[in-house]
Structure 1
Amino acid sequence: MLQILQIVLPVFLVIGAGYFAAYFKFFTEDQASAMMRFATQFAIPCLLFNALVNLDLAKEFHPNILVPFYVGAFFSFAVVWLGAGLIFKHTPGARVAIGFAGLFSNLVLIGLSIIELAYGMEASKTAIAIIAMHAPFCYILGIVSMEFSRADGLGLGETLKSVVKQVFSNTLMIGIMLGFIVNLGQIAVPVSISTALNLIATSALPVALFSLGALLISYRLRSGIGEVSMVSVSKLILHPVIAYLIGRFVFDLPPELLNPMVIMAAMPPGMNVYIFANIYDRAKGIAASSILVSTVLSVVTISVWLVILE
């Protein structure tokens, strides 16, 4: 158990440091936002680019790894979407926004940090393969579902444009795409550029985690405790359970592949959940509360998953 705490606590201590720095006014919300923009729009794309340049694509991008994670993500989305309608009686657009909270995981800021500490750099290759598909999968499913469910939907043509815009204007996706291009084209990156990218990339995760904590201070448990509880159970328990069952009993994955895949599936909702809700002006309070509550609860649930997978 001590070993598990040594894996999980450092990540959440950095988040906590950011939270209390903001709470005691050492950092303003604008300063925290600027730090997060640096991390997510510059440093993390450099990190993902470096990882993909050196990745064995044929080995790491394997259906046996991706299918369990994304089938679990889809079922998590579907369960939360259905619950938001059948149990909590939300409008169609709000159902999708709440369902998106059960879909989009915090794979980079928290997931990648946990994987590296728990399983080492080799396991991070599995994490990177999952991350590379994450934004396209989630935004395509979320935007298409939203546009076809709400009364003021854009229609098929405009929906496709919206999907393309959201996916390919994302700087994380730009870093991923450039990494693919350099890898597949076997383009040599000059040593000076590679060194500079490495310097920037090393700051990505600590800055992102600290900024995440500082920004959580602006979220409040405003409303929808039932919906938030449903999202938390689906995201932190249902998604990894489905991923584990498929990975273990359908694909018979070895532990070195199964374990990091399941831990990635156990991540709480990411900040894109609030961004998505804000774009459509649907269920913003529930989205913000889901991020806050699930992130706090994930300290326990991630620790439990690490024990189960030992």
Structure 2
Amino acid sequence: MADIIGMLIPFFGLIAVGYGAALYFRQPIEALGWLNIYVIYAAMPALLFKLMSRAPFADITRFDFILFDVLGTYLMFVLIFAVARLWRRKTTPEATMQAFAGSYGNIGFMGPGLSLLAFGEKAAIPVALIVCFENATHFTVIPALMAFAKGDRRSVIQLAGDIGRKVLSHPFVLGALAGLAAALLQWNQPRPLAQFVDALASSAAPVALFSIGVTLALKPLTRVPGDILAIVPVKLVLHPLAVYAVLTKFGNFDPVWVHTAVLVAALPTAASVQVMGQHYGVWQEKASVTILVTTACSVFTLSAFLYAIRAGWL
């Protein structure tokens, strides 16, 4: 257990540095904007490009792995959506946001850094695939459900085209697709370009984790609504267990790939959930609380899952 704690200290330590800096310097949260732009539009796409472009093409086209990982995630999405909509009688937009919060972790900002730290370079391909395809799936499903709930009058073709354009223009997806093309073409990158990509990629995790810490400090927790108390264990415990069950039941994958998927599924709710809530004008305050609570609790749940993996229980 000591080695797991030692591994997580620098990871959560960067979050703590951001948290402390925000409390000490007292800058407005708007000051974080350029930092997030750097992570989303430069560092993370570079990291995904690096991971995908330098991997064997056969490995990055493991669509069976992608299918079963997404299936495990959407079992949780459907579960939370059904409970919220049918039992708690929430509206479709509210149920959609709750399901989003309980199934979409901070895979972009935290996934690659933690996976590579825990499992080494063997985790590079599975985590890149998860980040790319789970982002693409979520940012297809959420707008589609919201359009249906709000009575969008566009034709199915127009709606699909609009959603498709937004998904394909997402920086994470663009970075991964560029890496996929480079791997397919077996492109030997010029050394200056490779060094530039490495420099951007190496900054992704530290800057992203610092940004998370600042966000947590500037959005203090006031109270925890009851429906969030049900979402937290689903996201941090049931989600990774569901992914593990599906991958081990229906696939024959390298244990590192399975463990990477489990660890990524155990990540806390992503800040994008609040962004989507603000965009659609629904559940934004509760999304903020969910992010704070799941991030704080993930210190313990991530440690537990890493311990279970190291002990051979998973």
TM-score for both structures, normalised by structure 2: 0.91
Could you list the per-position Cα deviations for residues 203-262 of structure 1 after superposition, in whole angstroms to 9, with x for gaps in the alignment?
Answer: 111011101111222334466622222221111111111111122233243422221121
Deviates more, 1:42-51 or 1:143-152: 143-152
Task: Give matches, 1:99-114, under 5 Å.
Answer: 99-114=99-114
Contact 1:147 1:155 in 2 (8 A): no
Counterpart check, 1:5 vs 2:5: yes
Task: Give matches, 1:196-275, under 5 Å.
Answer: 196-221=196-221, 225-275=225-275
1:152 positional shift: 5.1
Tell me which amino acid in the other structure corresponds to 1:118.
A
> What is the Cα-based RMSD across aligned positions, in Å?
2.0
Contact 1:68 1:247 in 2 (8 A): yes
1:300 positional shift: 0.7
1:305 positional shift: 0.7
TM-score for both structures, normalised by structure 1: 0.92
Contact 1:148 1:155 in 2 (8 A): no
Could you list the per-position Cα deviations for residues 71-113 of structure 1 after superposition, in whole angstroms to 9, with x for gaps in the alignment?
Answer: 1210111122122223433211121122111222211221212
Aligned partners of 1:153, 1:299: CA distance in 2, in Å? 44
Tell me which amino acid in the other structure corresponds to 1:5.
I
Secondary structure in 2 matching 1:90 = coil
1:186 positional shift: 2.9
Aligned partners of 1:61, 1:152: CA distance in 2, in Å? 35
1:5 positional shift: 0.5
Change beyond 3 A, Cα 1:104–1:194: same
Change beyond 3 A, Cα 1:231–1:154: farther
Aligned partners of 1:162, 1:290: CA distance in 2, in Å? 29
Work out the percentage of aligned pairs sharing the same amino acid: 25
Counterpart check, 1:167 vs 2:167: yes
Unmatched 5+ residue regions in structure 2?
A: none
Counterpart check, 1:120 vs 2:123: no
Change beyond 3 A, Cα 1:300–1:155: farther
Aligned partners of 1:7, 1:114: CA distance in 2, in Å? 9
Unmatched 5+ residue regions in structure 1?
A: none
Secondary structure in 2 matching 1:58 = coil
Partner of 1:178: 178
Deviates more, 1:276-285 or 1:101-110: 101-110
Partner of 1:191: 191
Aligned length: 310
Change beyond 3 A, Cα 1:78–1:219: farther
Contact 1:35 1:211 in 2 (8 A): yes
Tell me which amino acid in the other structure corresponds to 1:227.
D
Secondary structure in 2 matching 1:267 = coil
Deviates more, 1:292-301 or 1:175-184: 175-184
Change beyond 3 A, Cα 1:133–1:181: same
